[in-house]
Structure 1
């Protein structure tokens, strides 16, 4: 697998021109050498599209707390010899995947896989990731933060348009490097101020969403049970996307690219 994305090789754009000013600007500022591809999907069934999820190593040395996942979507118009290019940064893989899914990528084809990835610690983590990945326009992301060492965690602050109660949600992800696992949990708050207060002091457990305990809770529990059954039977809950897992690439002295879930 190529650790850095090369447009001429992976995206086959050497004979195409940007279709608009935004794509031209994205092309000019894009630097593939800092990227480690985590998964990708290419399609020609309805046009010609490429979807890539990657970890940007350079972010580690940038502004503290910046998101390290980059989602890349390319659409080619071969009849006009043009392409459009979009990129978007996210704190967690599941939100990056959601962005790609909204642009036409099948959710099962962009999942993170491979023996070098940190694994979900439990079935609830898998359920929350799937919920985000397939959320469509449900979540409005308000803020994110990434810490890639002590503690190794990220959080995404979002507004849930489908929530009847406590619509402000915190998706908190943290890693146990010794165990090679990570957990992702969803917390619910009445407003942004309450969510930020919890993130500042962590004085109690992350408040569980109301729907976990109301009539929708049965749906949540049923989905987790199905995930548990599939995992116990040896079936992957995140089907392989078409890339081999990347080898470990340290982000620098004392740091690890945990956002890319590399050990």
Structure 2
């Protein structure tokens, strides 16, 4: 699963550039992390970007986020580095955090083999939208259920939305089929979104912009309709183990990095 990645960031000859990086190094423990995607930049691997699943979170408070984003920047002229970590409910939001820190989105989008696959083109489209969203979404809350069926939702506020700006991204897993779906729902306010999440009365309401003038969404929906009733699964796009919840938190993991 790890594809040979051992979380060795080659920091032996470098010193932390600030107190936050020094603390992150002291607290970092890779023993419970499973690498899902990584990218290293030139020259000399000056930056490293990693998405990982933290198994230790499943032993804690139910609903905690389990997807960890890690960003390492090395200043080889000064022999220093910075290390940042952040927890997210789902892989696309972790990828978006790394893209904001300079990671090319197409590089971090490639997930290691052996995990569940996106079930349809609409899932791929919504994941790409999140991954390349920048500061568009303010994450208000998240939650992942480990029950059957397994799901994760992320409650956000969309700064670009003219109507119904509160958005819910719902990720649902079919472990028997080895695939999952991601859908976006739109609400007028947070209370309306929470009511739907609590009661689940009716389908997840689609955003107003899911209309004929949104070519990418239309193409994805047409492809979804054509593939209804089939078991075809796209080969590209992010996937992960079960993905969890809570607002992305800047939080180091216990243990040592070096």
TM-score tier by shorter-chain length is 0.7 to 0.9
Distance 2:15 2:113 in 1: 38
Q: Which segment drifts farther, 39-48 or 81-90?
A: 39-48
Aligned CA-pair RMSD: 2.8
Offset of residue 2 of structure 1: 4.8
* CA–CA separation in structure 1 for the residues paired with 2:140 and 2:44: 33
Matched, 1:176 2:174: yes
Higher helix content, 1 or 2? 1
Q: Equivalents in 2 of 1:47, 1:227: separation in Å?
A: 40
Equivalent residue runs for 1:51-200 within 5 Å: 51-200=49-198
Report the CA distance between 1:179 and its aligned residue. 1.0
2:202 matched to 1:218? no
Structure 2: tracts of 5 or more residues without a match: 226-232, 245-258
Partner of 1:238: 237
Greater RCO (Cα-Cα under 8 Å, separation 6 or more):
2
Shift of the 223–103 alpha-carbon distance from structure 1 to 2, 3 Å rule, reads farther
Q: Secondary structure, in 3 states, of the residue corresponding to 1:259? A: coil
**CA deviation vs aligned residue, 1:159-201 (integer Å, no higher than 9, x gap):** 1000000000000001011111100000000111111111111
CA spacing shift, 1:152–1:216, aligned 2, 3 Å: same
Aligned length: 238
Tell me if structure 2 keeps the 8 A contact 1:5–1:33.
no
Q: Contact conserved, 1:54 with 1:71, CA < 8 A, in 2?
A: yes
TM-score in terms of structure 1 length: 0.82
Matches of 2:12 and 2:121 in 1, distance apart? Answer: 43
- The residue number in structure 2 matching 1:207 is 205
Aligned to 1:254: none
> Take 1:224 and 1:109, find their aligned partners in 2: how far apart are those partners?
26
Q: Gaps (5+ residues) in structure 1?
A: 229-233, 240-244, 247-256
Matched residue SS, 1:210: coil
Matched residue SS, 2:71 = strand
Match of 2:243 in 1: 259
Taking a change above 3 Å as real, the CA distance of residues 86 and 5 of structure 1, as seen in their structure-2 partners, is farther
